[in-house]
Chains A and B, each alone.
Chain A
């Protein structure tokens, strides 16, 4: 098992190197730091000195790959590639274009993101699995048919509508919860209810339909027929046999996204004014802060790879048929 995990981790390294080179190409080669400086300072009436100042403040004044002016190893380390890209591997994100420490910001902002994402995931799973099981119980009837149609309709509504509609109805008309904002501690819960609720409702359509398909696939298998033939009641069959086996694909599907929960949701967080990583990224995009976007791209890739790793491990844990090789 440990050898397997180590092998998987080693396999992740070239992928991270690939991500790193890709982001480097995208941010520094497609457009030179000069272009970025011009963009940031405004297109016209920019002097060469201003551009040089802007670049040296942020460490963009060095050459891309090879610094001929330095001695020894510094020829390679005093370059944009080393300071901006290679340092990402030790999670040294450096400073944002506006001068703040990115690592510190991330460590501060991941908690609000988690406060939204974790309850949303857990409650959402419970709701959608129960609904899907209920639909699977009524399979082949009109209830099943219309439930699927409703799921498709729910899927077709833009997530923006759920958020805007939810804020309007709950926050403005009914005035049950505040429209947006965030607060630490127990009193912060009132700010969390609406985003969590909207996140769950927004996901009901697609997840329920997807889980229903998984359940139905399982229901048609031979062991379920055997169980029924033995005279076990339908409820027993569903809960004892179908649910347990269907949980394998459902849970492994969830494991992939677990690490990404840290990143938060871009849209939800910016609509509700939650100071998480999602709104951090959005702000960076709107302010054209390239350092932050670059860091978040790398962080996202690392988390995704961890998710894949966890998925593989969880497969081997829950499904004894999977062999490690």
Chain B
């Protein structure tokens, strides 16, 4: 182990499991023409490829942030054995360790070289004056920030852009080479085709999106190495770092909630529709009852009880991170509890329809048992409903997290999340002048993820829903 001893939090394991399932699904779907067709439609739409690329960026950060470990303690190998600190870090923390460790005293504005608040400073000759002191990290390399800052920011931006251009050119050349080999055409013909936007898959759109993303990442990285790009918060922590760390929380809530509720929704929905009779009555009763409690109140009640439970069993959690992780998992479970009913109802209705279809009737006429009929004939025919639900629910869940954290029934207060950022920043709007960056950063990061998730959901629904596909 290079950096330390790996730690697997429960949500990490579930996230990797989810990634594994998704890869397995696509590996399987790509070999079946009827499953491949709708996804081809997705990657052929411009909105589809743009949103896939942006979401991939978010998900990659989320996955990197899910690889946790106990870092190695420096200078600990006196007698050969290595000691690990109890603190839990992620691989992503390692990548952005610069801005992670660059804390200031308190608030500072984006790109500031001075602290936001005035402080009493003692000069060398003993006189005290009140002024904005220099930041310990942000813009510390400048001798005279007032004069040099603008030029320095511009210089860093240009460096970033040049780097982005180089990376982009390399990637695009590789792509064109690959395409030309596959299509057995000349390199220039393929490049020209892409530039004209005449290709089947919108490669030109992909190229432009890639350029924009690379520029944003690399220019951002250049800036972040010298400044607090989005300022610092009350305790002087970098806001950009917080916003990036919050991505994992958002991704976990958006995906795991659905993953956790899927087994219940699928099993119960299919059972209700297939067996009918008293099974149907019981399951319908179950979801009508759960559904009739307003979601927020059910979540509030469950989280209150969770607080009591965690207070009682405080010693069960080895560290704060594990405790927060457990709470995140519970939140996903509770959110899943309130959201499985919709999918369950859809699946029940679809099963009712499917069991009367000829091929299912034929299967039972041949003596195929219910379990086999369900697994072979019914489940595969409603996977599109499940997939559409997964992508449609994602954005709603991310938004819900923010609202729940605001009313203190969301994720653990120690966990980085957009909801917690908004919650702690909203009082700062009353300050004069306004401390807006924390709020703006969390809202912007959340907005981009939700927007592209919504666009992606639309494209996927259009491609998968047979009713839309026909018309």
Contact = CB atoms under 8 A, between A and B. Distances in A.
Contacts of A5: none
Nearest to B444: A161
A39 B446 CA distance: 34
B300 A19 contact: no
Contact of B407 (A35, A267, A294): A267
Contact of A152 (B311, B426, B451): B451
B153 interface: no
Interface in A131-177: 152-153, 155-161, 164, 167-168, 172
A159 B450 CA distance: 12
Interface string B381-407: 000000000000001000100110011
A38 B307 CA distance: 12
A225 B329 CA distance: 52
B64 interface: no
Q: Which of B302, B305, B407, B455 has the most CB of A within 10 A?
A: B305
Nearest to A22: B289
Contact of A290 (B302, B304, B429): B304
Interface residues of A, number: 48
Nearest to B458: A152
Contact of B292 (A31, A266, A285, A304): A304
B447 interface: yes
A286 B296 CA distance: 14
A250 to B, nearest CB: 20
Contacts of A36: 308
B439 interface: yes
Contact of A14 (B285, B311, B426): B285
A152 B289 contact: no
Q: Which of B285, B304, B309, B426 has the most CB of A within 10 A?
A: B304
A263 B368 CA distance: 51
Contacts, number: 127
A23 B327 CA distance: 21
Q: Which of A152, A168, A282 has the most CB of B within 10 A?
A: A152
Interface in A288-320: 288, 290, 293-294, 296-297, 300-301, 304-305, 308
A270 to B, nearest CB: 7
Q: Which of A14, A294, A296 has the most CB of B within 10 A?
A: A296
A43 B409 contact: no
A66 interface: no
Nearest to B432: A172
Nearest to A14: B285
B298 A31 contact: no
B101 interface: no
B407 A270 contact: yes
Nearest to A163: B426
A273 interface: no
Contact of A27 (B305, B399, B429, B446): B305
Interface in B269-307: 285-286, 288-294, 296-298, 300-302, 304-305, 307
Contact of A35 (B308, B409, B434): B308
B308 A300 contact: no
Contact of B408 (A15, A27, A285, A294): A285
A260 interface: yes
A26 interface: yes
A23 B307 CA distance: 16
Contacts of B292: 15, 19, 301, 304-305, 308
Contacts of A161: 443, 447
Contacts of A155: 395, 450, 454
A153 B409 contact: no
Given A15-B292, A159-B403, A301-B292, A38 B312 contact: yes
A156 B294 contact: no
B301 A15 contact: no
A158 B399 contact: yes
A38 B458 CA distance: 49
B451 A156 contact: yes
A30 interface: yes
A19 to B, nearest CB: 6
Contact of B312 (A35, A172, A260, A300): A35
B294 A31 contact: no
B399 A288 contact: no
A225 to B, nearest CB: 15
A18 interface: yes
A296 B297 contact: yes
Contacts of B176: none
Interface in B403-441: 403, 406-409, 418, 422, 426, 429, 434, 439
Contacts of A286: 407-408
A296 B297 CA distance: 7
Contact of A260 (B294, B399, B443, B455): B294
Contact of A23 (B301, B309, B406, B453): B301
Contacts of B300: 281, 285, 293
Contacts of B291: 304
Contacts of B447: 156-158, 161
A153 B451 contact: yes
Contacts of A300: 293-294, 297
Contacts of B293: 19, 22-23, 297, 300-301, 304
B411 to A, nearest CB: 15
A266 B296 contact: yes
A14 to B, nearest CB: 7
Nearest to A293: B301
A310 B309 CA distance: 39
Contacts of B305: 26-27, 30-31
A152 B454 CA distance: 7
A31 B399 CA distance: 30
A202 to B, nearest CB: 11
Contacts of A168: 429, 434
A234 to B, nearest CB: 21
Interface in A18-56: 18-19, 22-23, 26-27, 30-31, 35-36, 38-39, 43
20 contacts: A19-B292, A19-B293, A22-B293, A31-B308, A35-B312, A39-B308, A43-B314, A158-B418, A158-B422, A160-B406, A160-B422, A160-B443, A161-B443, A164-B422, A172-B429, A281-B297, A286-B407, A294-B301, A304-B294, A305-B292
- Closest 4 A/B residue pairs (Cβ): A18-B289, A156-B451, A300-B294, A156-B450
Interface of B: 285-286, 288-294, 296-298, 300-302, 304-305, 307-309, 311-312, 314, 395, 399, 402-403, 406-409, 418, 422, 426, 429, 434, 439, 443, 446-447, 450-451, 453-455, 458
Given A15-B289, A301-B294, 4 more contacts: A157-B447, A160-B426, A270-B407, A297-B293
